[in-house]
Amino acid sequence: QVAHDRQKSYADLKRKPMEFEVGDRVMLKVSPWKGVVQFGKRGKLNPRYVEPFKVLAKVGDVAYRLELSQELSRVHHTFHVSNLKKCYADEPLAMP
């Protein structure tokens, strides 16, 4: 138990709580959707995160419902917090 607590304290030092508010803009991680949707380039040049999406609602403790674009209509609109990253850009980013 002591070793477990020590390892937990080490891991928690680098961990940040990720919370988003309704209306925040977040970037969506691409890797879970590699086989489902094509985003721009292929391979190493493929973007890691796409478009800022608006948070519509919090679902449970660790999931969020997003307002997706038309090209992602085949993808479910609820995502785990680990697949999201806060977007700090003022205007929407353009995809080449």
The domain that holds 37 is classified in CATH as 2.30.30
pLDDT of amino acid 19? 86
The range of the structural domain enclosing residue 62 comes to 18-86
pLDDT beneath 50: ranges in the chain:
none
Q: How many domains does the chain have?
A: 1
What is d(CA 93, CA 65) in angstroms, rounded to the nearest whole number? 20
The structure's pTM equals 0.70
For residue 12, is it within any domain? no
57 forms bridges with which residues in the sheet?
Answer: 65
For residue 69, is it within any domain? yes
For residue 95, is it within any domain? no
For residue 91, is it within any domain? no
For residue 81, is it within any domain? yes
For residue 43, is it within any domain? yes
